[in-house]
Structure 1
């Protein structure tokens, strides 16, 4: 199966042909996929070289002229390194673009920590007005990419990963998708975490929600799920642990609830290893998730006054 990133150049190249507003801005990374598009549209496929601050600034300038820029590089170079430009050139100037990242969290362990960005979504969370898509399958990535480009002048971040679920889901770019129903808690699986969550909760009586759009956070969807399953909520995210716990707590602010945020830990793993080894080390494989989710739900059932 191809990867999410494999879909990027073909999909966006077609959009370049279809829509004269679409432009692509690159910083060397990913340029090979756009060679043909660059020949067809030399004025709308722009490579700025290894200059990530310029990458964002140039995209914002194009947006100010009325174009819809698609901006692509690794997550660490797209969100973290040029964060000031993201904050000012898009946020302060009140313009938008589609930022599309690759090498999510620890997708390329051999690249070292300079090429890892588990804090990207949390960092964007400090800014106002960003839509954040986290697809879990290449087909979903294609759907969400098209929606993002068509989203007027909105600020959109699409987080692509080589990690993928085995099955595509019918995502709509807005709502959490119920995948399994239960009565002893709600587990929200974000993007490529769904397969591991389903395996981890196979013997647990929980509702599983699938989230591929995490900002705006589907508060209404979470509230609906908790009416039948209770207000013990576990969030399993493929980036920094706890990124969405505040959003979940806000959604349930008027009812007693408990929230557990699982994801990539803050401690840096200094050995390259493999994706699978990083996943297990952060407790995001099925075994690690099963242990932590079960422990959390059991604790809720045995709190003082409940036994």
Structure 2
């Protein structure tokens, strides 16, 4: 996914003279073709995240569209004040590309595990947050990112992720996509809501639950901010259970955003909810991304088990949505 994203930056730079790439101490050969063709619009700075955000802000004020790339924890935690004051306060069209959202860099420990990046970026006025599920969706998103007038935080997954959005030919910032519609129509008893690879895991859970007679919609929200309120409300109103799935702490991320919306807009008729994500703790165990995701229950089997438990341990057919 990272390669796809950065290749798109280079391709857009070929046709739009406003596009600039700024990196922070990344691989020497990264986007070598762009560096050769557009040396005045390719900047590889040192380990200086505060500097590159300020640099990008200044360039945006002069009419450029900077795409800034480094590890997710560095482009969020390390330069948070600059992101808030230099970018968001002035509502500038800078795109922050964070490598390794969630537990991608699991073997490098908590310093590199971006488990709270969505929460802290979501708190900033004017910030847009996008977490595509796969490389194909990344291509569609990058095309529309060019003319979005606000700052964007782009959360990258590991790469090589299963393509689950191949049935769509467009991307609209702020819109969700129904990856799976339950048999029987729109009024399914369970709504699974995901972002990034959380949507992929939710899709796997829905397939397992279908074998038990439990009908689930799977709503993919690649844009965490702004949320697609219309899609969420339409699918949540008839649901008996809403489950959010994200590779992020359960505090302040997708689950919190969905909960806030439903509490505010459903007038006391909020369905039962479960938020699946990383617990409120730094990960202590050593292992790869999949190992740690399994530890915290972000797998299709664990998600399906959470749904069964929330429903009382028995299957629920389409007709029991309001039971």
Listed one character per residue, the Cα deviations across residues 106-151 of structure 1 (whole Å, up to 9, x for unaligned) are 1122222211111001001110122211111111112112211232
Paired with 2:256 and 2:200, the residues of 1 have a C-alpha distance of 24
2:244 alignment partner, one of 226, 231, 235: 235
Paired with 1:263 and 1:167, the residues of 2 have a C-alpha distance of 20
Aligned residue number for residue 298 of structure 1: 312
Residues paired across the two proteins, number: 299
Q: Which range moves more in the overlay, 65-74 or 25-34?
A: 25-34
Structure 1 residue runs of 5 or longer lacking an equivalent are none
Aligned residue number for residue 90 of structure 1: 87
Aligned residue number for residue 256 of structure 1: 269
2:198 counterpart SS class: helix
CA contact (8 A) 1:235 1:261 kept: yes
Listed one character per residue, the Cα deviations across residues 180-209 of structure 1 (whole Å, up to 9, x for unaligned) are 226212110212123321222232222221
Paired with 1:290 and 1:210, the residues of 2 have a C-alpha distance of 17
Structure 2 residue runs of 5 or longer lacking an equivalent are 316-321
Structure 2 CA distance for partners of 1:249 and 1:300, relative to 1, 3 Å? farther
1:33 counterpart SS class: coil
Aligned residue number for residue 71 of structure 1: 68
1:160 and 2:119 matched: no
2:202 alignment partner, one of 197, 202, 216: 197
**Structure-2-length-normalised TM-score:** 0.86
Q: Which range moves more in the overlay, 285-294 or 196-205?
A: 196-205
How much does 1:300 deviate?
12
Listed one character per residue, the Cα deviations across residues 158-179 of structure 1 (whole Å, up to 9, x for unaligned) are 1111162343342523322122
Paired with 2:280 and 2:77, the residues of 1 have a C-alpha distance of 16
Structure 2 CA distance for partners of 1:300 and 1:176, relative to 1, 3 Å? farther
1:222 alignment partner, one of 205, 221, 232: 232
2:307 counterpart SS class: helix
1:150 counterpart SS class: coil
CA contact (8 A) 1:136 1:212 kept: yes
**Structure-1-length-normalised TM-score:** 0.90
1:58 alignment partner, one of 55, 63, 73: 55
- Mapping of residues 112-123 of structure 1, within 5 Å: 112-123=109-120
Paired with 2:177 and 2:34, the residues of 1 have a C-alpha distance of 35
Paired with 1:112 and 1:289, the residues of 2 have a C-alpha distance of 25
CA contact (8 A) 2:105 2:289 kept: yes
Paired with 2:273 and 2:311, the residues of 1 have a C-alpha distance of 10
Q: Name the Cα RMSD after superposition.
A: 2.3
How much does 1:27 deviate?
0.6
Structure 2 CA distance for partners of 1:92 and 1:129, relative to 1, 3 Å? closer
Paired with 2:28 and 2:141, the residues of 1 have a C-alpha distance of 21
CA contact (8 A) 2:122 2:129 kept: no
2:98 counterpart SS class: strand
Q: Which range moves more in the overlay, 191-200 or 6-15?
A: 191-200
1:109 and 2:106 matched: yes
